[in-house]
Amino acid sequence: MIARKDTKPAARAEPVGFKALMMRSSWKPLPSAAFLTGSADFLKGQFIKRFTRELFGEAEPEIHRFQGPANDRQLADLPLAVVLDELRTPSLFSPHRIVIVDRAGPFLVAHGEDLIPFLEAGFAGGYLLALIDGKLDGRTRFAKAAARVAWVVDCPQPYDRPPPWDAKMPVWDSELTHWIVNHASRKGLEIDPKTAFFLHDRAGTDLAVLDEELEKIATFLAGKGAKRVDAETVAAITGDLREDSVFLLADRFLEGRRGEALQAAERIFVKGYHTEKGALTTEPVSIALLLIGALVPRLRALRRAHAVAAEGGGPDQWIEMGLIQRPFISRFQREMRALPPAKIARIFDRLYEIDRAIKSGGDAAALIELLIVEQGDAPQPAATGRM
C-alpha cells in the first residue's frame, strides 16, 4: 500500500509528563513527532511500546532505528536527509512508519532549525521518535516549535530518597518507592511502600532491573497463589544488586554516617560505578579520584559557610554567596554539624595526602576506606547561623 501524503499539520500538543500521558485511555490523534527527554531509558521504552500499539494496533509495526552520534564531533554521521528519507519513503506493507533516533541530542542541535518545517507539515505517514539524554534548550526556535506541534515528554529517573529539604519525611517515602508500588500493581502484585523501599535498596535504582525483579517475584507468588509481596519474599528472590553512586557516598561521608559510607564504598569498589554518561568505571584509582573531585568543592563551601556563621550570618547569606541552594539547606546544616572547621581542615590535608599516594601507586580502595573510618567521630555542635 502506498502511503498518502499528509496535508494537515501535526497534532498540536503541549509538553506533557510521562505519568500523565500513560494514564490517558487513548493517544489519538498522534503527533508526527515526539521528543523523549530525561535519563530513564526504561520509561522511554514503555512510551515507544505504547506509541507503537496506538499506531499499529495488533498489526506488525514498521520501525527503523538510528543510533545517533555519541558527541558533537560526530554530527555529520547522521545527516538530516537520511532520516527524512526514511520517514517519507512509502511502504508496500504499511501506511505508517516509525523512525527512532537514539541519543538524538547532538543530531537536534545540528539539524533542529531545518527540521521545524517538517514538524509542522508532517512526514507523509512517518512518525519521528527522538530520544534525548538531557533536556531540550527551551530558548531555541526548535524547542518552542516542538512544544507547539509535537510532544515533548519528560522521562526522569525517579528519586530514590525523599527531598533533602524535608528531613522529617521517612526514608522510604520517595518517588522511586511509589513508582514500584504502581508498577507492581500493573503486574497484579500488592506491595507497600516500606517493602518497595527494601526492594530498591537491594536491587538498585535501574527501572529495567526493578521490572525484572518484580517479574521474578510475580512468577514466584503465582506458584503459591498469592499476590502480596513482603520483605521475606523480596529477600528470597532478589539478590543484593544495588549500585551506589559516588555522590551518594559523598553525602554519607559529609554527614558523618560512617557505617553507611563504608558499606557504600566497599560496594562501589567491588561492583564499579556507572558515571552520568553511562560508562562503567571499575578502576579503583578512577573511583577514588571521582570521590575526591566530588568532596573538594563541597568542603570548600562548608568552610566558607562556617566563616560566615562565625560572623553572625546564616542561610540567607550562604544562598546569596552561591554556597548552597535553598532546598538543600537542611542537608547542608547537617553536614556543618558533622564537620566543624578543624575537622574540615584535617580532611583537606588527608585528601591531599591520599591524592599523592594514589598517583604514586597506593591502594586507592584502602586509602578511601581509611579516610571514612577516620571521619567517624561523633558529630559536634556547630554554628548554623540565624535564619
- C-beta atoms surrounding 248 within 10 Å: 17
Confidence of residue 113 (pLDDT cuts 50, 70, 90): very high
- Which residue, 303, 328, 330, 304, is CA-closest to 317? 304
Domains assigned to the chain? 16-154 (3.40.50.300), 175-237 (1.10.8.60), 246-374 (1.20.272.10)
| Distance of alpha carbon 131 from alpha carbon 135, whole angstroms | 10
Q: Residues 244-265: pLDDT tens digits?
A: 678 778 888 998 888 888 888 8
**Helix axis angle, 329-338 to 284-310, nearest 10°:** 90
Q: Residues 54-78: pLDDT tens digits?
A: 999 888 888 999 875 554 444 446 8
Q: Between the CA atoms of 254, 258, 259 and 260, what dihedral angle is there, to the nearest 10 degrees?
A: 10
| Distance of alpha carbon 95 from alpha carbon 122, whole angstroms | 14
Average pLDDT over residues 122-140: 90
More reliable by pLDDT, 159 or 5: 159
Residues 103 and 66 sit within 8 Å (Cβ to Cβ): no
The pLDDT value recorded for residue 257 is 83
Residues 242 and 249 sit within 8 Å (Cβ to Cβ): no
Q: Give the range among 6-20, 224-238, 275-289 with minimum mean pLDDT.
A: 6-20
The pLDDT value recorded for residue 77 is 66
For 41, list phi and psi in degrees, rounded to 5.
-65, -35
Q: Look at residue 380 and tell me whether its pLDDT is greater than 80.
A: no
The pLDDT value recorded for residue 130 is 95
The pLDDT value recorded for residue 319 is 87
- Which residue, 179, 174, 177, 146, is CA-closest to 162? 174
Confidence of residue 385 (pLDDT cuts 50, 70, 90): very low
The pLDDT value recorded for residue 181 is 96
pTM of the model: 0.63
Bridge partners of 33, per DSSP, are 128
- Residue 373 to residues 258, 353, 355, 369: CA-CA distances in angstroms? 7, 16, 17, 6
- Dmax over CA atoms of the chain, in Å, equals 78
| Distance of alpha carbon 285 from alpha carbon 367, whole angstroms | 10
User: What is the distance, to the nearest Å, from the Cα of residue 64 to the centroid of all Cα atoms in its chain?
Assistant: 26
Average pLDDT over residues 40-49: 93
Give me the percent of the chain exceeding a pLDDT of 90: 42
**Which amino acid is present at 111?**
H
Q: Which residues contact 127 (CB under 8 A, 6 or more apart)?
A: 30, 31, 32, 33, 34, 51, 55, 87, 96, 97, 98, 99
Residues 205 and 157 sit within 8 Å (Cβ to Cβ): yes
Is 125 exposed, middle or buried, given 0-12, 13-18 or 19+ CB atoms closer than 10 A? Answer: buried
The pLDDT value recorded for residue 23 is 87
Q: Cell match 561523633: residue?
A: 378
